[in-house]
Amino acid sequence: MKNENMNTKDYIKRYFKRCITGPYSLLCGLSVTLRYFFNPKRIVTEQYPENKKTLKMHERFRGHLVMVEDENGENLCTACGMCERACPNASINVLATKNIAGKKVLGKYLYHFGSCTQCGLCVEACPFGAIKMGQGFEFADFSPEAFELVLNKKEGRG
Amino acid sequence: MSTNVLLPGFREAPLDEDFEEFYINMGPQHPSTHGALRLVLRLDGEKIIEVVPHLGYIHRGMEKQAEKLNYIQYIMMSDRQDYLTAIQNNLGVCLALEKGTKIGVPERAEYIRVILAELSRIASHLVFYACFGGDLGGQTVLLYGFKEREMIHDIFEEVTGSRLTTNFFRPGGSNKDIPDTFVPRVKALLKHLESALSDYDRLLTKNIAAMDRSVGVGVLSKEDAIAYGCSGPVLRASGVSYDVRKNDPYSIYASLDFKVPVFYNGDCYDRYLIRFEEMYESIKIIKQCIDKIPSGPYRSKEKPIFKLPNGSFYAATETAKGLYGTYVVSTGGNSPYRIHTRSPSFGNLAALNTMAKGQRLSDLVTILATIDPVIPEIDR
């Protein structure tokens, strides 16, 4: 790294100066790594697949969409379609049907997980609190059909 | 290939007959281009004559897609532009939308916005620090930088529900209120960050190998920086003191006490130092805000359907990369007629050729690292 306008004397001077400051700067850096080496408490790595049982996501974590159900498996959805309209990438199809009394109820709640970006706008839009973002993750699968989900088990309450 | 034929995009005149020049591709898949960016280099031996970036590998047509979405849905799209500072992009879009509706923002929401935006700035600069070290060959630095960034993203996950694609701010405030654990966590993080940053300073800043590879490399003059539309740390490292937070303050930045660090050499080392200074300034800003978060509503009363009046609205924010502008043209409906984004990385990348001309091939990696481009933001 010799500059063209630097004379030989200056160059040699700089060379010997750098012989001392160079290794010193490296030792400065090494002192940091050594401190971490002898201080295992500072290490923050998680042993991921092993700690899966104790791993808890934050309450607001946005995983995949799930339906809020009570103990009988009844959902709160009225098939109003607000979530379908709020979804930016058409991941939700609410298929309404009519029950025996002739009232409009939820038939099928189709959720295309493959195109979902988990933005949470559907949960914000729902006026009844019938859906929420789940805590799950690790959804990789080999077949695209695994991402075409039907969320409701029963008809909605209407 | 004959030596006197120029590939498309190159402008320098062909050199003499006996001159041995050749073209190589750097990217689209290259570890130091930080994404799918293709650089075509025209080389004379190891010396760079010209660099032409080829963009568009991850173009998703966001601005066109926005015309089909409504305004609230577009906020989700801004997460996917600069994924390192998603929350600042949310803020930029929301500020533009608020200008249109004259919607007020409660004071509590302003404080939440500033704290999260500055946390995001620190996270982004830490990624720069990590990648800068990694690109120079110091893999230790790469791991250390990401450690504190994870802690910041933990806070983001607790507050917004997602680590990167936050989708948190809305016109007139934010999506949700901050949880009770937010303030103590941020305080603990700040305490930790200060010691960690001084560690990182010692790890790399005076390191002789890092200095040799960055001091005097990739010099960008003040005039060129302005001419190319550079912004953010790249502009300020060239000696121009322009920060939207100071010069055209939004949110509550006008009432906060912070400095805008400026360096004058315009080389890679200055672009590295300035980001370190900015992290300290961000910590200072968060410290001023964290104790003063007022109680009250976190969002002003929302309308069932968000609509903008007829007209066009523009708001600029200072993200970690530079000036992020959002220009919205509305015809009065609930979805935009046109949205244009002025992304900082695009302007900064434009200056790459000027910086890299006459440098060695290995210096290009350093220069590219100090520009700190995020490719999804350039392509959109």
User: Residue B25 falls within a domain, yes or no?
Assistant: no
Same domain, A23 and A95: no
How high is the pLDDT of residue B101? Answer: 84
Q: What's chain B's average pLDDT?
A: 86
User: Residue B132 falls within a domain, yes or no?
Assistant: yes
Same domain, A27 and A69: no
Q: What is the pLDDT of residues A50-83, one digit of tens each?
A: 888 888 888 888 888 888 887 777 778 888 888 8
49-78 in A: which are within 8 Å (CB) of B?
57-62
Annotate chain A with three-state secondary structure. CCCCCCCHHHHHHHHHHHHHHHHHHHHHHHHHHHHHHCCHHHCCCCCCHHHHCCCCCCCCCCCCEEECECCCCCECCCCCCHHHHHCCCCCEEEEEEECCCCCEEEEEEEEEHHHCCCCCHHHHHCCCCCEEECCCCCCCCCCHHHHEEECCCCCCCC
- Chain B closest-CA separation from residue A148 CA (Å): 22
Mark yes or no for CB contact B76/A58 under 8 Å: no
User: Residue A26 falls within a domain, yes or no?
Assistant: yes
Is it the case that residue B1 has pLDDT exceeding 50? Answer: no
Of residues B268, B250, B269, the one with CA closest to residue B88: B250
Full residue range of the structural domain in which residue A141 is found: 57-150
Total structural domains within chain A: 2
CATH number for position A65: 3.30.70.3270
Same domain, A123 and A61: yes
How high is the pLDDT of residue B4? Answer: 56
Average pLDDT over residues B18-22: 71
Average pLDDT over residues B71-80: 88
76-135 in A: which are within 8 Å (CB) of B?
86, 88, 117-121, 124, 133
Is it the case that residue A26 has pLDDT exceeding 60? Answer: yes
Same domain, A25 and A69: no
Total structural domains within chain B: 1
Residue B327 confidence class, pLDDT cut points 50, 70, 90? very high
Residue environment code for B256-269, b if the CB has 16+ CB neighbours within 10 A, otherwise e: bebebbbbebbbbb
How high is the pLDDT of residue A36? Answer: 81
Full residue range of the structural domain in which residue B102 is found: 62-379
User: Residue B225 falls within a domain, yes or no?
Assistant: yes
User: Residue B226 falls within a domain, yes or no?
Assistant: yes
- Tokens 């012989």 belong to residue: A19
Of residues B347, B322, B180, B168, the one with CA closest to residue B245: B322
Average pLDDT over residues B77-83: 87
CA B66 – CA B374 distance, rounded (Å): 20
Is it the case that residue A5 has pLDDT exceeding 50? Answer: yes
Is it the case that residue A1 has pLDDT exceeding 60? Answer: no
Residue B102 confidence class, pLDDT cut points 50, 70, 90? confident
Mark yes or no for CB contact B208/A18 under 8 Å: yes
Kindly compute the dihedral angle of the four CA atoms of residues B369, B373, B376, B380, in this order, to the nearest 10 degrees. Answer: -160
How high is the pLDDT of residue B125? Answer: 92
Same domain, A64 and A134: yes
Phi/psi at B52 (nearest 5 deg)? -125, 115
User: Residue A51 falls within a domain, yes or no?
Assistant: no
- Chain B closest-CA separation from residue A132 CA (Å): 12
How high is the pLDDT of residue B23? Answer: 83
Can you count the helices (H) and strands (E) in chain B?
15, 8
Mark yes or no for CB contact B157/A86 under 8 Å: no
B277 in helix, strand or coil? helix
User: Residue B194 falls within a domain, yes or no?
Assistant: yes
CATH number for position B168: 1.10.645.10
User: Residue B269 falls within a domain, yes or no?
Assistant: yes
User: Residue A127 falls within a domain, yes or no?
Assistant: yes
User: Residue A123 falls within a domain, yes or no?
Assistant: yes
As given in the structure block, the two tokens for residue A84 are: 């379908």
Task: Report the residue of chain B nearest A22, measured CA to CA.
Answer: B208
Same domain, A92 and A132: yes
Task: Report the residue of chain A nearest B154, measured CA to CA.
Answer: A58
CB contact A32 to B (< 8 Å):
yes
- Chain A closest-CA separation from residue B163 CA (Å): 9
User: Residue A48 falls within a domain, yes or no?
Assistant: no
- Chain A closest-CA separation from residue B232 CA (Å): 28
HSE-CB at B379 with a 13 A cutoff on CA atoms is 18
Residues in B touching A55 (Cβ below 8 Å): none
User: Residue A38 falls within a domain, yes or no?
Assistant: yes
Is it the case that residue B2 has pLDDT exceeding 50? Answer: no
Same domain, A32 and A63: no
Task: Report the residue of chain A nearest B160, measured CA to CA.
Answer: A60
User: Residue B204 falls within a domain, yes or no?
Assistant: yes
Angle at B95 between CA B89 and CA B96, to 5 degrees: 95
> Across the A/B interface, how many CB contacts are shorter than 8 Å?
72
Phi/psi at B346 (nearest 5 deg)? -65, -45
